[in-house]
Amino acid sequence: MIPTRLYYIMVILSLVATLVIFCLPAPTAAAENPVDDAALLASVCPVVYPLDQFPTERGYRYFFFGNAFFINEKGYLVTAAHILNSFRDGGRPYILVGSPRGPRRLQQAELVAVDLEHDVAILRATPNPFVGQHHVAFMSLSSERPSPGKPVMAVSLLPSDPSDSSTSEDPTEIRSRGQVVDYQFHAESEGADSELLLFNQKVVPGQSGSPVLSADSREVVGLVVGQWLRPTVIHFGAGAKQQLVMSPGAALRIHYVISLLRRNGISWHAALVPVAPQNPAPQAGGFSPPVPISLVSAPYPPQALFGGEVVLDARVDTEGKIAELNVVHGTAPFLKPVLDAVHTWMFSPAKMDGQAADARIGIVIQFPQSFVPKLAPPEHKYGPPSEEVVDHGALPVFTVEPDYPLNTTAEDSVILYKLVNREGRVTSTEILRDVEPFTAATLEASQKWQFAPGKEEGADAYSAVLIVVTFRHP
C-alpha cells in the first residue's frame, strides 16, 4: 500500500548518528530584517545537546536534533515540535551562536510554547544573544500562500561530519531551491489537520525546523517538517505540461506558527497586513467589524460523497483571537476539519470609535458537491436564528452552491468577506482569496444568498460574514 502519511524525518540519539551543527550569525544589526545571504544564515540556528561538560581544543561535542530560526530581537526562535521529543523526559535544548569565522558558543534555549497537533514549538534563547557581542538576525514571517510554480527556498545548516562534529568545525549549508508543488492537508494520528506546502526538493535528515522562504519576498512562508511520500502531480502555470514530483519536501504553513505566537503574546516581524485592505469604514455608532489577518481553509473530506456546509458564529476578542465559537449548522465529516482550521484563525479586532472591541462574526464554510450534474439540490435553507440567542453575527438563511467551472481540473478555495446591515442586506463584498475560475462562480452563487442580521443584546446589528468555498474536482 502506498503510504499517505507524512514521514517526519527525525534524528534520534544513537551511537551511529551523533550529528552536530552550529549557528552562523553574521555581523549584522540586531534589528535587521535579513535580505542577504549572510543575514539569512545569521537567523538560522541548530537545536543541540552538549556531550562534554568542559571544552577541549576542538570545543564541545554534541548531539544534533534539527534547525530553528529567530523571529524577533528578543531571542525567540521557531522550530518543529517533533525534533524536541528527546527532551520531554528531561534535559534542556541548546542552540549555538557565534560569528562566521570566530568562536561559537553553546547557549541554553527555554521551551516557551508548543502546539503538538500542528508540530510547532517556540524557544527562547537565554540570555538573549541580540544583547551584547553576538550579532544575530531574525527572519520575517508572512501568511502569504505562494501559488504552485512559485519559487521557494529552504535554508539549513548541517554538520560537516555527522559522526564526529564539534563547535570548532565549519557547517555545511544547504539551500534547497525549488518551486511550490501543491498544498495538502495532513493529520498525525488523531491530531488536527494541518495544511502543508509541498515543494520539489528532497528533505534530508537534519532539515526539520528549517525556514522555507518565498524567493520573491525573502519572508518565511513555511517550516520544514519532513518528506511527503505520496507522488504529486503539478501543473506549472498556463500551457505547461503536468509533471510528476516524487516525494516532495513538506513544510508546515507559517500560519500555524503565527497563530501560536499570537496566542502566547509573542511579537514577530513581518509585513503582515489584513487580507482585506483595512477595517471597513465605521458604521453608525462608530463601529467596524473584525477583519481576518491570517487563515487557512479546511480540507474537503475525502470520504464525503455529497457536498456540505458548516455555519459558525464566532466572537472575536480585542486581541483578534476567537474567544467563542458556536456551531450553528454542520455535521460529520465536515465539522471536525472546519473546527480544526478555524481555531487557528486570527483577526484584526473590531473597532468602536477607534478602540478595539469584542464583536461577533458569521462564518460559512461550503463544500459544493463534486458531481456534474449535481445529484442533490444545490440550495440550503435554514430557519432564522433562535430569539433566545441575544448575541450573534449575521448568519445565512439561504445559500446556493456554485457550479464547478468547466475546462479545469484544479482544486482550491475562494474566500469572501461580506458586510451585512441591520436589515440583513449585503452592503459590500470583498474578495480575500481570488482563484479563477472559481472566484467568478463563487461570486455568482453568493449573490443569491440571504442573511439574518446580526444581534447585539437582542437588537439588530451591523455584522460581517466570512465565506470560504472549497472546490473538489468532480
Say what the pLDDT of residue 281 is.
Answer: 63
CA 340 to centroid of chain Cα atoms: 12
Amino acid at 146: P
Average pLDDT over residues 328-339: 94
Amino acid at 447: Q
Distances (CA, A) of 211 to 48, 93, 125, 207, 208: 17, 19, 18, 9, 9
Going by pLDDT thresholds of 50, 70 and 90, the confidence category of residue 28 is very low
Say what the pLDDT of residue 186 is.
Answer: 84
277 CB burial (10 A radius; 0-12, 13-18, 19+): exposed
Q: Which helix (H) or strand (E) holds 211?
A: strand 211-214
Inform me whether the pLDDT recorded for 59 exceeds 90. Answer: no
Going by pLDDT thresholds of 50, 70 and 90, the confidence category of residue 90 is confident
CA 364 to centroid of chain Cα atoms: 20
pLDDT in tens, 97-145: 865 555 567 899 999 999 999 999 999 999 999 987 667 889 999 988 8
Alpha helical stretches, state H, 126-182: none
- The DSSP code for 285 is T
Neighbours of 312 (CB within 10 A): 23
Say what the pLDDT of residue 271 is.
Answer: 55
pLDDT in tens, 36-53: 677 788 889 999 999 888
Say what the pLDDT of residue 154 is.
Answer: 94
pLDDT higher for 98 or 147? 147
Inform me whether the pLDDT recorded for 325 exceeds 70. Answer: yes
Q: How far apart are CA 88 and CA 161, in angstroms?
A: 27
The Cα angle at residue 440 between residues 438 and 446, in degrees rounded to 5: 100
Inform me whether the pLDDT recorded for 33 exceeds 60. Answer: no
The beta-carbon contacts of 326-329 under 8 Å, at least 24 apart in sequence, are: 326/392, 328/382, 328/385, 328/392, 328/395, 329/382
Say what the pLDDT of residue 245 is.
Answer: 64
Average pLDDT over residues 314-336: 94
Amino acid at 229: L
Going by pLDDT thresholds of 50, 70 and 90, the confidence category of residue 244 is low
pLDDT higher for 403 or 40? 403
What are the b/e assignments for 217-229, b being 16+ CB within 10 Å?
ebbbbbbbbbbbe
- The DSSP code for 409 is -
Check if the beta carbon of residue 160 is closer than 8 Å to that of residue 169: yes
Inform me whether the pLDDT recorded for 4 exceeds 50. Answer: no
Peptide bond into 127 cis (omega under 30): yes
pLDDT higher for 29 or 340? 340
Say what the pLDDT of residue 280 is.
Answer: 67
Alpha helical stretches, state H, 391-450: 438-446
Q: How far apart are CA 190 and CA 336, in angstroms?
A: 11
Supply the pTM of this predicted model. 0.79
Neighbours of 236 (CB within 10 A): 16
Say what the pLDDT of residue 23 is.
Answer: 31
% of the chain surpassing 90 pLDDT: 50
Instruction: Delineate the domains of the chain, giving CATH numbers in brackets.
Output: 37-256 (2.40.10.120), 273-470 (3.30.2420.10)
Q: How far apart are CA 333 and CA 336, in angstroms?
A: 7
The mean predicted confidence, pLDDT, of the chain is 83
Q: Residues with Cβ < 8 Å from 29, sequence gap 6 or more? A: 135, 137
pLDDT higher for 231 or 428? 428
Q: How far apart are CA 93 and CA 72, in angstroms?
A: 19
pLDDT in tens, 375-401: 888 999 999 998 888 999 999 999 999
Between the two ends of the chain, the Cα-to-Cα distance in Å is 25
Which grid cell sits at 70?
A: 529567530
* DSSP three-state, residue 295: coil
